[in-house]
A and B are shown apart, each in its own frame.
Chain A
Amino acid sequence: MASYVLLNIDTASPNIEIYAPSYTTVDILNEIVIQANEELSLDYQEIYVVDANGVRYDYSFAFDGDSYIGHVRFNNFPVGSIITLYARVMDKVGNVSNLVNKAIHIANSITLLTMTISDRQANVEISDKGRSVATNDRAMKIIVADSDRSENIGSN
């Protein structure tokens, strides 16, 4: 009987997307994610910002399986300008993605205001006390009477 081995060769580029805010300020530490639809290679990342004057600034993000994650503060760009973030990565078998980009507005945020922010949840007390259940396995006494009734059978 003939046997076959089918090989599927992965020649498809990974699809990637940039998760980044459309606007930010020079004060905010932005979490930016380059998310792919498959596992990526640790060996290749091309992530950079081009400012309004066409100057390129390279960044190195942390590898996280199917994504690269960076925490970036854009405090070296002019307030009010629009910068463009570019990203290109590679999957585990060497297929390089398209170069994707996202524009980010460095908003004209005033620093007249300073803020302290917090998030919290109302206190909720929970308990999972079980209702006690008493069991007993007292057996009912069974009295077995085992009396033989003997009959006198007389023989004539």
Chain B
Amino acid sequence: MAVTSNGTNTYQYGTTIRFEVNFFDFDGNAIEPDVIKIIIYNQRYQQIYTEILTSNNQLGVGNYFYDYITEDKEQKLYYEWNGTINGKPSLKRGSFMTKFIN
């Protein structure tokens, strides 16, 4: 169960959350970056997890997912999708909360 407040989803801690991203060019066509990373930050913006994704995480052209197992604690986390083309990054961030949901 996810509870949404102020645009931030709250999940039961200890559960698995799926992050998904779609990369497009200016014309709205799906495009494949050279390197795709997902980075998880804690509330202090300290990196607690980084993963470079492979075709194992690919759903389609420019469409990737990552399943993240949350820690057993109440906290706010930020996630960052980071795609690189010709050595230049493009990134976007989101946030979510984990807590014990009764």
List A residues at the B interface (Cβ < 8 Å).
17, 19-22, 25, 27-28, 30-31, 33, 107-122, 124
Contacts and interface: CB of A to CB of B under 8 A. Distances in A.
A30 to B, nearest CB: 8
Contact of A119 (B9, B26, B33, B89): B9
Given A112-B26, A115-B22, A119-B96, A22 B45 contact: yes
A110 B44 contact: no
A19 B16 CA distance: 26
Contacts of B22: 115-116
Interface in B1-42: 1-2, 9, 11-12, 15-26, 31, 33, 41
Contacts of B9: 119-120
Given A31-B95, A113-B24, A120-B17, 18 more contacts: A21-B41, A28-B92, A107-B91, A108-B88, A110-B88, A110-B89, A112-B88, A113-B33, A113-B83, A113-B85, A113-B90, A114-B24, A115-B22, A115-B90, A117-B81, A119-B9, A120-B9, A121-B11
Interface of B: 1-2, 9, 11-12, 15-26, 31, 33, 41, 43-45, 78-79, 81, 83, 85, 88-96
A19 to B, nearest CB: 5
B19 A119 contact: yes
A25 B21 CA distance: 18
A118 B20 contact: yes
A109 B21 contact: no
B31 A113 contact: yes
Contacts of B44: 17, 19
Name B's interface SS. Answer: strand
A83 B28 CA distance: 32
- Candidate in A21, A115, A124 with the most chain B CB atoms within 10 angstroms: A115
Given A113-B24, A115-B81, A28 B93 contact: yes
B20 to A, nearest CB: 5
A122 B16 contact: yes
A116 to B, nearest CB: 5
B18 A121 contact: yes
A113 B26 CA distance: 7
B43 A117 contact: no
Contacts of A25: 90-91
Nearest to B25: A112
Nearest to B9: A119
The 8 A-B residue pairs whose C-beta atoms are closest, nearest first, are: A113-B90, A110-B88, A115-B92, A116-B22, A21-B45, A114-B24, A19-B44, A117-B21
